[in-house]
Each structure stands twice: as structure tokens, then as C-alpha cells.
Amino acid sequence: MLPTMSSSTNFSFLVALSLFCMAFAAEETTCRFDYIYQFGDSLADTGNRIRQVGVPSVFNISSLPYGMTYFHKPTGRFSNGLLVIDFIAKALHLPLLHPYLETNASFSHGVNFAVGGSTALVNSFFAKRNISVPSKNIPLSQQVKWFKKHLSSVSNSRSQIKKRLKRALIMMGEIGGNDFNSIFSQGKSLKESRVYVPPVVKAICNAVREVIQFGAVHVVVPGNFPAGCLPKALASFSSADPKAYDDYGCLTESNKFALLFNRYLQKALASLRLEFPNADIRYFDYYKAFEYVLQNARYLGFDQRSLLKACCGTGEKYNFNSTKVCGSPGVKACHNPEKFINWDGVHLTQATYHYISEHLIRDVLSEMKCLP
């Protein structure tokens, strides 16, 4: 039985110990990556969204309590501290990734192109279907253009770029969640929204195809986690029918939709592997990693009474209110975020990202095929 974290001191010790183990595992069993390039949305954004001029955010990530745990100040991360990509960088002995939009940042070991709120599909796709998305949305295809522009600025030699990318880890997401959030906001049911799964997956695969054709070799594509366990979903789509919930209190149909999306994505990636036999394309099961945290929450030190509650927010059952979200005036964070799975109703805590990153390093990165 794993020990229960009884204080922030114990948690800090466990994180330090775990990082040591992760770093050791990465050094012993993982390919030597000198660069990381991250694409995606708010789950991986390390500061691009707050650098977009004139783009409001539902969550006020430029103010405390965002960043309160690790950085002790807001950095543009949608969490109280580190994200999965941060733990990966640490385990691989690389600096934390700077956001692409950060002026005069050092990109010597990679770049983070992820932007909070980004979609996999382009804006015109939504416009043709009368689905509203922010006009300054940065879709995945734009992030890929940033990627190519950045590398072309590093070297005008294609052979040099390919040489660099042989030693690079590409994190393609998680992305796609905002596409469906936009679709659901138009009143589309889960059943009606299934028709959008293929185009979203196609957009992700097109991005993978482009970066591989540009020279990338090691690509990780995460799926979606169980959205039906998020406080926002639980507060927004509450039901009087007990059958609408699973044994953990999560929305069953929402989670089935996430699993449907993940299955479709995995099939598409299998086709990409046939198309690019010399590339190592890996799927990361974000859903299963999140599920592991939920199932083992007691032994990982999480508060059993707060598994489906946001640490930062306000509200009754799930501590989430869409009109007064984390970062709003008067909205406070819990004093012990290490005991919460969810941070602000949509995004996760540093503690949760820590355990998810362990799965990614152990189950995916350590198995990647290394190039000479």
C-alpha cells in the first residue's frame, strides 16, 4: 500500500523522489532527446494564451492563485503548478519549455506551441456549420506553421533541420477537447456530435503527417481524458437519473464519448504508422492514466471527499460556477491543492499531472525506438 500524503512537506518529498525515479528511468531506458516540441491546448500551454493581445480567457490565468504551488506566481499555465510537459522536460534533463510567443525566450531545447482554447479544426470549418469559436483561435494547423517557421529560422538547411528533429520529441496534444466544447455549446447532443469525431481526428493526423514530412521521427499523440469526471461537466449537465453516473460519480455518456474519440484516434494512428514505417508514432492513453489516479486516489493522497471537486472555484456540489471561475475576484483556492485531482473545474492540479506524467514516461517514452 502506498503511503498517504499527510502534508505539503510530504507531498514535496514524494514529488522530488518521483522526479528522481522518472529521471533515472528516462536516462536508463528512454531515447536521448535534446529537444521537445509541444502542440496542443490549455493542458499543455506554458504561456502562449496570456501573450495573445486582445484575447480574453474564461479563466484569469494571469493572476494568482494560478501558479501558486511551484512558481508562486502566474506563468500562463492553467494549473496551480507544473504540467505534464514540465514533468517530462525535468525527467529528460531539459529546461522547461518557453511558449512560442514569449519575446526573446531561449528555444535552445525546444518550443511550446500549445495555446489555451485551441482547436484541432480550423475556424472556417466551424463557420460553415454556424458553430462559434473565438476569432483569434489558434488551430493546430497554425501551430504547425509556427513549428516550421521556427525551425527554418534556426537553420536554412533541410538536412540540419532533419538532424535536429531526429533528436526531438514531438508532443502532438492533447487537442480536440475544445472542438467538442464549441460544438456542445451550440446545443448539440453527444449523439449528434459523433459526426464531428472523424474530421477532428483527421486534423490531428494531418498535423502528425506534416511534422513527420518535415523531419520529425518520434511523435506522441495523447487521447482525451474522461471529460465526464470534470467539475464543469458535472455542474453543467447534472441529472436526476442515478443511471447517468458511474461508480465514481462521473457522467457515463460523456466518458463514453471520450472513449469513442480515443478509439477512432488510435485506428487513425495505426494507419499513419503504415504510411510512415520509419517514424515512431505512439498513442498515450490519457484516459487510462486519469482513471488510474481516480481509482487509486486514496493511496495517492487525494481527499476522498473532493475527487470531483475543483480546488479553485465556488459552488455547492462540485465547487464550480461558470460565472465565477478561478481567478475571478473573491474566488479562492483550497489550501491543500495536492489533495485535489481537479484545479479549476476544467484543468488538473500539479499533483494529478505528476502521476499522469509517470504513466507517459513509463508506458510510452521508455518504449520508443531510438535512432543511431
Query: Given pLDDT bands bounded at 50, 70 and 90, which one contains residue 30?
Result: low
Query: Contact at 8 Å (CB) between 57 and 63?
Result: no
Query: Contact at 8 Å (CB) between 336 and 8?
Result: yes
Residue 242 has pLDDT above 90, yes or no: yes
**The one catalytic residue among 98, 109, 218, 347:** 347
> Out of 14-18, 293-297, 330-334, which region has the weakest mean confidence (pLDDT)?
14-18
Whether cis (ω within 30° of 0) applies to the bond prior to 226 is no
Cα 21 to Cα 10: distance, rounded to the nearest angstrom: 16
DSSP state of 337: G
Q: What predicted TM-score, i.e. pTM, was given to this entire model?
A: 0.92
pLDDT at position 26 is 46
Residue 371 neighbours by CB distance under 10 Å: 12
Residue 155 has pLDDT above 90, yes or no: yes
Considering only CA atoms, give the Rg of the chain: 20
> Out of 107-111, 185-189, 199-203, which region has the weakest mean confidence (pLDDT)?
185-189
pLDDT at position 21 is 53
Residue 24 has pLDDT above 80, yes or no: no
pLDDT at position 1 is 35
Residue 11 has pLDDT above 70, yes or no: no
**Cα–Cα distance list, 135 to 58, 146, 325 (Å):** 15, 18, 22
Known catalytic residue at 347 = yes
Known catalytic residue at 141 = no
Q: Summarize the confidence of residues 53-79 as an average pLDDT.
A: 93
**The one catalytic residue among 193, 306, 344, 359:** 344
327-355 pLDDT, tens digit each:
999 999 999 999 999 999 999 999 999 99
Q: Which structural domains are found in the chain, ordered by start?
A: 31-227+249-289+348-367 (3.40.50.1110)
Residue 48 has pLDDT above 90, yes or no: yes
DSSP state of 76: S
Query: Contact at 8 Å (CB) between 31 and 164?
Result: no
Enter the C-alpha cell of residue 122: 480550423
Query: Given pLDDT bands bounded at 50, 70 and 90, which one contains residue 112?
Result: very high
Residue 199 neighbours by CB distance under 10 Å: 13
Residue 263 has pLDDT above 80, yes or no: yes
Known catalytic residue at 344 = yes
**Cα–Cα distance list, 245 to 38, 187, 228, 250, 295 (Å):** 34, 21, 9, 5, 15
Q: Summarize the confidence of residues 170-197 as an average pLDDT.
A: 95
Question: What is the average pLDDT score of the chain?
Answer: 92
Cα 315 to Cα 325: distance, rounded to the nearest angstrom: 10
**The one catalytic residue among 41, 42, 98, 179:** 42
